[in-house]
Amino acid sequence: MTGNYRKDPEAVSRLTPGQYRVTQKNGTEPPFGNEYWDNKEPGIYVDVVSGEPLFASVSKFDSHTGWPSFTAPIEPGNVVKRRDFRMLIPRTEVRSAHGDSHLGHLFHDGPKEAGGLRYCINSASLRFIPADDLEREGYGAYRELFEPKDNTGSAS
């Protein structure tokens, strides 16, 4: 799915101080005290600034870290990886491609059966779209992720 996603100055002006600190100043929110760390509802997570689709609940898992964790992006082209040398140990930062929002970091300690990656993401960088609202919010193409599969693995 492609869209006209970009860093929207109006959206930036509406960010809470915490969202601004995380997305625009590369901050990190506290573990376990953020909006989506334990959200188990079906749906997708989009960039709070640009609206670009980033992650889906089908790839979310409990990493016991206190932040939303995902095994893979919903649209790999919407997530950019950069080396981060701000701490003593180099890490891989993840940012949204079109909104240039700081999202979090990528680690190699995720579930092995799902590829071994853990995208550790700040809730403050995300807006959650429940599966029932996907069409209304303009993300209807992702509805099939949440439809029952038949025995062949395709949506029924």
**Is residue 88 over pLDDT 70?**
no
If one counts every other C-beta atom within 10 angstroms of the C-beta of residue 145, the result is 17
Burial class (CB in 10 A: 0-12, 13-18, 19+), 151: exposed
**Is residue 106 over pLDDT 70?**
yes
Say which range, 7-11, 23-27, 58-62, has the weakest mean pLDDT.
Answer: 7-11
Which overall architecture, per CATH, does domain 9-139 show? Beta Complex (2.170)
pTM value is: 0.90
More confident residue, 155 or 42: 42
If one counts every other C-beta atom within 10 angstroms of the C-beta of residue 58, the result is 16
DSSP code of residue 149:
B
Task: Give the pLDDT of residue 89.
Answer: 72
| Tokens 């079109």 found at | 98
Over the stretch 108-135, which tens digit does the pLDDT of each residue have? Answer: 999 999 999 999 999 999 999 999 999 9
Over the stretch 42-64, which tens digit does the pLDDT of each residue have? Answer: 999 999 999 999 999 999 999 99
If one counts every other C-beta atom within 10 angstroms of the C-beta of residue 121, the result is 28
If one counts every other C-beta atom within 10 angstroms of the C-beta of residue 24, the result is 16
Catalytic residue among 11, 15, 106, 120: 120
DSSP E strands: which ranges in 69-150?
69-70, 79-84, 91-96, 102-107, 118-121, 126-130
Domain range list for the chain: 9-139
Among the listed residues 88, 91, 115, 116, the one whose alpha carbon sits nearest the alpha carbon of residue 104? 91
Task: Give the pLDDT of residue 40.
Answer: 95
Active site residue 126: no
More confident residue, 73 or 11: 73
Whether the CA torsion 132, 39, 144, 48 is positive or negative: it is: positive
Task: Give the pLDDT of residue 90.
Answer: 76
**Is residue 72 over pLDDT 60?**
yes
Task: Give the pLDDT of residue 1.
Answer: 43
When pLDDT is averaged across residues 1-19 and rounded to a whole number, the result is 85
